[in-house]
Amino acid sequence: MLMRAARMHGYNEPLRLEEIEVPAIGPDDVLVKVAATGMCRSDCQLIEGYFTQGAPLADPITPGHEVAGRIAAVGADVPRSAGLADGDLVVVNPNWGDGTCRQCREGNEQICGNGQMAGFGPPGGFAEYMPVPYRHVIAVPDGLDPRPETLAPLTDAGLTPYRGMKKLRQAGKVGAGRTIVVNGIGGLGSYGVQYARLLSGGATVVAFGRSDEKLAVAVENGAHHTVNTRGKTATEVQDALEDLTGRRDVDAILDCAGAEESLALGAAILAREGALTCVGLMGQKVVLPLLPFTNGEKSYFGSFWGNYDDLAEVLSLAGQGLIKHNVVPVKLDDVNDNLEALSRGDVVGRAVMVFD
């Protein structure tokens, strides 16, 4: 049986829309009929060679790591106790560790040194079907909005800032009387603002962005204040913060961009004993001022994606109606146009490829 797929055959080339065979599944896999796939800036970076430093491609890659769909087939060795059957609505946990390292044993397969990520080698969701190890699908619980276009982004855009926000909370950097900044209101940041409100124990939440249209989304999603940082120096941003909050510094920062400029701004406005967590990957390096971070006992945390439990928690929050979605439905036929728009920063919210 044939299916349509958008595949990457080389770096810095448009994806090719092709008809290929539906992939075979192994005995421990399920076949997912894809209903929706989120489009992430990481997909653009994959095409640009960001993750592989331009290494030659051994085989064509089908991108797409934010996937929701229905089970179309179940492998022969999938245990009955998994509770998976044909027709079940599922989301895909896209990080597949080797299962043997310390990180995997701790449940953090997303940082396994020998792991794989759906859509970055193993076939992803820019196709009508994809094979998934049964351990990495989660049946959608009752009470959750069943629309695939709202489910798919929860596996990355809705997951990654959640884990980053948990790190700030676990470090004790949030709470009443404190200020937290969410920097970068794109696919991740539109969810990040919501988690800042949900998990910060009454802290004041300020959204930073470079577009008034995106900052309006941040306000809809719970930001108390916003600052358009486009063209502003760190001093000018601090002036705006002082006008809005009475302070020129902040206690915690969730950076959803990861650009060198956004990290430098964060370092400049971070208060003593503050913490900056970066979940974005737009830049190539982090440069932090040593003396202020040392004598101010400031902290920098890297935070990558999220684990199975993090995703289950996000799904639970969504099931309770605590998460809003800002989705832009798109079609497989328009994949390259939408990747270009995403790369330019033109998408407000999350572009989600919806299959008929």
- 60-88 pLDDT, tens digit per residue, is 999 999 999 999 999 999 999 999 999 99
* 124 in the same domain as 44: yes
* 291 in the same domain as 210: yes
User: Is residue 29 within 8 Å of residue 75, measured between CB atoms?
Assistant: yes
* 9 in the same domain as 149: yes
* 294 in the same domain as 329: no
* 184 in the same domain as 172: yes
Number of domains in the chain: 2
Give me the CATH number covering residue 14: 3.90.180.10
Give me the CATH number covering residue 289: 3.40.50.720
* 99 in the same domain as 38: yes
Distances (CA, A) of 334 to 15, 49, 137, 217, 338: 10, 22, 27, 25, 6
Closest CA to 345 of 200, 185, 198, 228: 185
Summarised one tens digit per residue, pLDDT across range 212-237 is 999 999 999 999 999 999 999 999 99
* 175 in the same domain as 148: no
Question: Any long-range contacts for 330-337 (C-beta under 8 Å, 24+ apart)?
Answer: 330/39, 330/354, 332/4, 332/6, 332/17, 332/126, 333/17, 335/6, 335/15, 335/17, 335/39, 335/126, 336/6, 336/14, 336/15
* 41 in the same domain as 125: yes
Mean pLDDT of the chain: 95
* 339 in the same domain as 244: no
Residue whose token pair is 């953090």 = 108
Summarised one tens digit per residue, pLDDT across range 168-183 is 999 999 999 999 999 9
Residue 294 has pLDDT above 90, yes or no: yes
Neighbouring CB atoms inside 10 A of 234's CB total: 15
Neighbouring CB atoms inside 10 A of 227's CB total: 22
Model pTM?
0.95
Neighbouring CB atoms inside 10 A of 354's CB total: 17
Strand bridging mode 66-74 / 29-38: antiparallel
* 131 in the same domain as 209: no
> Which domain-ending residue is among 282, 302, 322?
302
Residue 262 carries which DSSP code?
Answer: H
> Which domain-ending residue is among 283, 302, 321?
302
User: Is residue 330 within 8 Å of residue 352, measured between CB atoms?
Assistant: yes
* 339 in the same domain as 290: no
For residue 229, the enclosing domain spans 160-302
* 253 in the same domain as 329: no
Summarised one tens digit per residue, pLDDT across range 263-284 is 999 999 999 999 999 999 988 8
